[in-house]
Structure 1
Amino acid sequence: MKKLIVVAVLFAGNFMFSQKDALLQKVAEETCKCIEDKKLDMSGDFENLKGQFGLCMIQSYTANSKAMGGEELEFDDSASIEKLGSEIGVKMLNICPDYILALGKHAIKEKQEAAAEETVLASVTGKILEIKTEQFVSIQVKDENGRTHTMLFLDYFDSASLFTEGNLKKGDKAKVSYNEIELYDPKMKEFRYYKVIAGLTK
C-alpha cells in the first residue's frame, strides 16, 4: 500500500511539472510572437522593452493558465511575477534569442550607469605647486586650507587633455577630482592608499 502511495505521489508530481513546463513553453512562444508583431526597436528605450515583455507575457499567461493547470497570478506579488518572467525568459532564449539578448544588454548597461552615478569622486581645489614627470606623473596641489596633496596621473579621464596638451602649469588654480586606490609601495614594502586623478578643471 505504501509503495502505491509513493508511486502515486511521484506520478502526480511529474504530471504537475509536465503541465507547468508545457504552460511556460506556450507562454514563451506566444510572448515571442507578440513581441515580434509589435516590431519593436531592440536598441530603443529599455523601460519600453521591459514593459512590452511584461504585457505580452501576462496576457498569454492569463489566457492559458487556467486551461493548463497554472497558478493564478497575484499582481501585487512582484517576487512571483519576477520569478515567472525569469522562467519564461529562459524558454524564450530558444525561440527569440535576439530579443532576450537585447534585454540583457540593456540591463547590463543600466546597472553600469547606475553604478557610475553612485560613485562620488572626492576633489581638491587649490594651486598647482609642482608637476613631476617620472615613471608616473604626480601633481602637487595646495588646497584653500593650506594643506598639500600629492596625486598620481595613472588613468585616462575625459579632461585629461588639460594636462597632456600642456594647458596645466605650475601656479595654476585648478580643481582636481580623484579616487583613492590601494597600491603597493616598493620602497615602503607595503600597500598604501594613493590619490589617483579622475578629473581636472581650471
Structure 2
Amino acid sequence: MKKTILFISFTFVTFFANAQSEEADALLDKISMETCECVENKGLDYSKISSSKLELEFGICIMESYAKNKRKAEKYLDVSLNDDASLEKFGEDIGFLMVNNCPDVIMALAGNYAADEFEETKDDLTLIGKIINIETTQFNTIEIKDDSNRVQKLLWLEYFEGEEFLSNSKVLKKKNMEVVYIEKELYDPKIKEYRNFKIIKKISVL
C-alpha cells in the first residue's frame, strides 16, 4: 500500500514539474517573440547603432514584455529583478530563442560587439618592465621601469586580467611584466587641462 502511495505521489510530482516546465518554455518563447517585435518596431539602423545602444534597446524590450506577462513570469520563471546574475541568465535564455524568432537582431548584436571589440583592441599598446611602485590615491598609479630604465606611469581604473599579480610582492620585485594598455585623454585637475593617460588593460608575468 505504501509503495502504491509513493508511486502515485511521484507520478503526480513528475507530471506537475513537467507541466511547470512546459508553461515556462512557452512563456519564454512568448517573451522572445514580443522582444523581437519590439526591437524590430524601433526601426533601428543595425549598420550604425553601437552594441551598447542595441543592447540597451534589447534590454528595454525584454523588460517591457516581462512586465506584460508579470503574473505568469513570477509563477513559472525563476527570475529575480534584484539579482544581476538572474537577469543575465534570463537575457541569455531570451537571446537564445531570438536566434530562431528574429536572427537579424541577434546577428546585428553579435556583429556590433565584434566591431566594438576590434575598435578597442586595435589601439592596444604594450610595455615590458618591472613594477617598482604602486601609488594609492583616488585612482591607483602603477610605476614601471622599462628596459631603458625609463619610469612609466599607468592608471589602474578598473578590473583587468592579471590584477592579482599586484598583490604579490615577490612577483613585483623579481619578474618582468608585460602590460597591455591604451592611451586615453582625461582631465588632469593639477594642470586643469586634458592630457593623455596610460590605462592598464592587462598584466602578465614573463
TM-score over 0.5 for the alignment?
Answer: yes
Deviation at 1:8, TM superposition (A): 0.9
**Residue in 2 aligned with 1:86?**
92
Deviation at 1:115, TM superposition (A): 4.7
The answer (yes or no) to whether the contact 1:28–1:92 under 8 Å persists in 2 is yes
Q: Secondary structure at the match of 2:46?
A: coil
- Go from structure 1 to structure 2 and tell me whether the alpha carbon gap of 1:67 and 1:74 turns closer, same or farther (over 3 Å shift): closer
Q: Percent identity?
A: 35
1:31 aligns with 2:35: yes
Number of equivalent positions: 127
The answer (yes or no) to whether the contact 1:65–1:71 under 8 Å persists in 2 is no
Please tell me the root mean square deviation across aligned C-alpha atoms, in Å.
2.7
Letter matched to residue 36 of structure 1? E
**Residue in 1 aligned with 2:6?**
2
Deviation at 1:46, TM superposition (A): 1.3
Deviation at 1:119, TM superposition (A): 5.0
The answer (yes or no) to whether the contact 1:65–1:72 under 8 Å persists in 2 is no
Q: Secondary structure at the match of 2:100?
A: coil
- Go from structure 1 to structure 2 and tell me whether the alpha carbon gap of 1:65 and 1:97 turns closer, same or farther (over 3 Å shift): same
Deviation at 1:113, TM superposition (A): 4.3
Q: Greater helix percent: which structure? A: 2
CA distance in 1: counterparts of 2:123 and 2:83, whole angstroms: 29
CA distance in 1: counterparts of 2:29 and 2:108, whole angstroms: 20
The answer (yes or no) to whether the contact 2:79–2:90 under 8 Å persists in 1 is no
Tell me the TM-score normalized by structure 1: 0.55
Q: 2:19 aligns with which of 15, 18, 33?
A: 15
CA distance in 1: counterparts of 2:79 and 2:10, whole angstroms: 30
Deviation at 1:71, TM superposition (A): 3.9
1:64 aligns with 2:74: no
1:115-194 paired onto structure 2 within 5 Å: 115-116=121-122, 119-122=125-128
Structure 2, unmatched stretches of 5+, are: 130-146, 150-205
- Go from structure 1 to structure 2 and tell me whether the alpha carbon gap of 1:118 and 1:75 turns closer, same or farther (over 3 Å shift): farther
Deviation at 1:5, TM superposition (A): 1.0
Structure 1, unmatched stretches of 5+, are: 124-142, 146-192, 194-202
Tell me the TM-score normalized by structure 2: 0.54
Q: Secondary structure at the match of 1:67?
A: helix
Deviation at 1:2, TM superposition (A): 0.7
